[in-house]
Copies of this chain bind each other. A is one copy, B any other.
Amino acid sequence: MRTYTKEKLELFKKVNKNRARLLINCADQPGIVAAVSKFLFEHDANILESSQYSTNPQASGEFFMRIEFEIENLQENIKKLEEDFKEIENKFQMEATFKYVDNVKKMAIFVSKEPHCLLELLWEWQSGDLMADIKLVVSNHEVARELVEPLGIPFHYIPANKDIRKQVEEQQIKLLKEHEIDLIVLARYMQILTPEFVEEFKNQIINIHHSFLPAFIGARPYERAYERGVKLIGATSHYVTNALDEGPIIEQDISRVDHRDNAEAMKKIGQTVERSVLARAVKWHLEDRIIVYGNKTIVF
């Protein structure tokens, strides 16, 4: 890792050593906010950001909340904090998670031949805008090695095709486990993952699809967009599930094209959309802003 990036990361951890995020999910019912905010107040927390959402506040909706806060000497108080909160969790039958900001997520990037999404992530990371600990890059091609290694990130070339999928994934999973990876980003990785792999990292794999889903599910979306004569092309970032291109959508964006743009031109234009859409999705995940609910995401 370059000195510049390393220093950014160290500084980030230091500045955020007392900062945490509380994510809540339960059936909507009176008193939740009152209970939670009273709890934080009594634990001397300073609330920095707070968002809530109910799928149906007037009836039996599902309630979601994300609070970012600071507590002095957080490190020493984590255990007690979590224990004390159990009472509220039980009372409201919550699913609640505390996330600690200085506990920077460990990330792996998978890529095939086209490096634009990888480059965007590396670049945001270098400039300190994407706070992850990038542990490794995995690719079924050698092409990206020269982009990755100079930054001090290990590059693992693992040839892959559908006949050797099982072995390949075993090798990948081993690597991911060794590095205790929290997040796998498929930055234009052109191999399909097995249900076992996906199950192993549920809501921890983010993919970028090169169309505004659900249009052009599957292969060759730019060619098909060109054939259909669309005036917009897009990209979609989503969590990977075992339904191809049908996982919970995190972010989408589009760019305008016209009759002069053939499939090749659309691809070029689309790459700019792909890389910014993926970078936003990854950033939100790293900031614990995304809650998956059913096949949708809530992005706070």
Contact = CB atoms under 8 A, between A and B. Distances in A.
A238 to B, nearest CB: 9
Given A119-B123, A212-B232, A2 B146 contact: yes
A294 to B, nearest CB: 8
B38 A34 contact: yes
A103 interface: no
Q: How many copies does the complex hold?
A: 4
A251 B229 contact: no
A250 B44 CA distance: 35
A202 interface: no
A116 B215 CA distance: 26
Given A229-B297, A259-B296, 19 more contacts: A4-B143, A4-B146, A31-B41, A33-B41, A34-B38, A34-B40, A37-B37, A37-B38, A46-B58, A58-B70, A115-B127, A129-B268, A212-B254, A215-B215, A229-B295, A230-B249, A231-B249, A232-B234, A259-B297
Interface of A: 2, 4, 30-31, 33-34, 37-38, 40-41, 44, 46-50, 52-54, 57-58, 70, 115-116, 119, 123, 127, 129, 143, 146, 150, 212-216, 228-232, 234, 248-254, 258-260, 268, 272, 276, 295-299
